[in-house]
Structure 1
Amino acid sequence: MVPVRPRPILVIALIVAAEATALLVAAGWYGFELVTAAPVRSFWGAVFTLGLLLAFSAWLFSVAAFLFRGYRWTRAAALVAQLFVLTIGVPTLSGGLLWAGIAMVAPSLVAIVLLFDRRVITYASRAGGAPPAL
């Protein structure tokens, strides 16, 4: 019997996928700036930063996809991602960039609250591995 996917799972998966998309766009912009010879102190440091942006984006896309499918490990991964977003969003708010800060903090807080919803915990309890033999 396949459990019914609760709506909060969809909301969290969409938030995480939107954050992954934002990172991918940022990586594209960063890569464009790097290719157009924007001055950087360390070229290879900039390439490494670009690689980190791409890797984190891919990781968030996989978290969103596997959370949508109900895997257990994704709740912790999504929570860690939201805490990272908060560590950037709160200083952005206090630094005077109101709309950018709200755009980071509000979805992150919604996702954190929904991650502890009973329906989400129940649904996202699927362990990895092979399906049962019988």
Structure 2
Amino acid sequence: MSRPPVNPAGVPAIPDEPGNGPGRPADQRSTPAPVAATVVALIAGAEALALLVAAGWYGYELFTGSPVLSFWGAVFTLGLLLAFSAWLFAVSLFLYRGYRWTRAAALVAQLFVLTIGVPTLTSGLVLAGAAMVVPAAAAIVLLFSNRVIGHASRTGSPPPAL
């Protein structure tokens, strides 16, 4: 005679509900992300894609022989663009999934965009400035909505059992 499987974490599994796989803990049910969280995740993803495009253009210009004062400084700048793009893609994905740390990371990213967008807007480049300021302001407002705060409350997986 065999025994039924035991969940080592002690969290009851609910395999009968839709969206819950076999043995998936009850506190990690798959619920759809609210629209506000999806919008903020899409804004962060679009900004990450824009940074990736800018890094591609910067790298193309760098390696086709555009004059620079410091080649290694330009390579470092390219690395920063790529790293920040990867970071924003991760923030976007994990915000959509509902992880708690992403709200602070998305807020910092939007504040960085505002620090570039506002001077761009006031210097006469209205279209480019508005393209930065409007989504960043919308994301900041949505980050503080109750639905996003409630959605982004997942902490992470429990440590594995020995």
> Structure 1 residues 4 and 131 mapped into 2: Cα distance closer, same or farther (>3 Å)?
farther
How far apart, in 2, do the equivalents of 1:2 and 1:18 lie? 25
1:122 and 2:122 correspond: no
**Match runs of 1:74-89 below 5 Å:** 74-89=102-117
Structure that is richer in helix per residue = 1
Q: Which runs of 5+ in 1 are unaligned?
A: none
Task: Give CA-to-partner distance per residue, 1:2-40, whole Å, 9 cap, x none.
Answer: 444210011000000000000000000000000100000
How far apart, in 2, do the equivalents of 1:116 and 1:64 lie? 16
Structure 2 residue identity aligned to 1:114? L
Moved >4 Å (runs of 4+)? none
Q: Which runs of 5+ in 2 are unaligned?
A: 1-28
Structure 2 residue identity aligned to 1:12? V
Q: Tell me the C-alpha RMSD between the 2 structures.
A: 1.4
* Larger Rg computed on CA atoms: 2
Aligned to 2:123: 95
Task: Give CA-to-partner distance per residue, 1:48-71, whole Å, 9 cap, x none.
Answer: 000000000000000000000000
> Which residue of 61, 64, 69 maps to 1:33?
61
How far apart, in 1, do the equivalents of 2:143 and 2:128 lie? 23
SS at match of 1:72: coil
SS at match of 1:14: helix
**Match runs of 1:1-134 below 5 Å:** 1-130=29-158
> Structure 1 residues 126 and 39 mapped into 2: Cα distance closer, same or farther (>3 Å)?
same
> Structure 1 residues 132 and 43 mapped into 2: Cα distance closer, same or farther (>3 Å)?
closer
Structure 2 residue identity aligned to 1:81? A
SS at match of 2:69: coil
Pairwise CA distance, 1:132: 9.3
Q: How many residues align?
A: 133
Question: Whose RCO is larger (CA < 8 A, sep 6+)?
Answer: 1
Identical counterparts, % of pairs: 71
Q: Is the 8 A contact 1:3 1:123 kept in 2?
A: no
Q: Is the 8 A contact 1:12 1:114 kept in 2?
A: yes
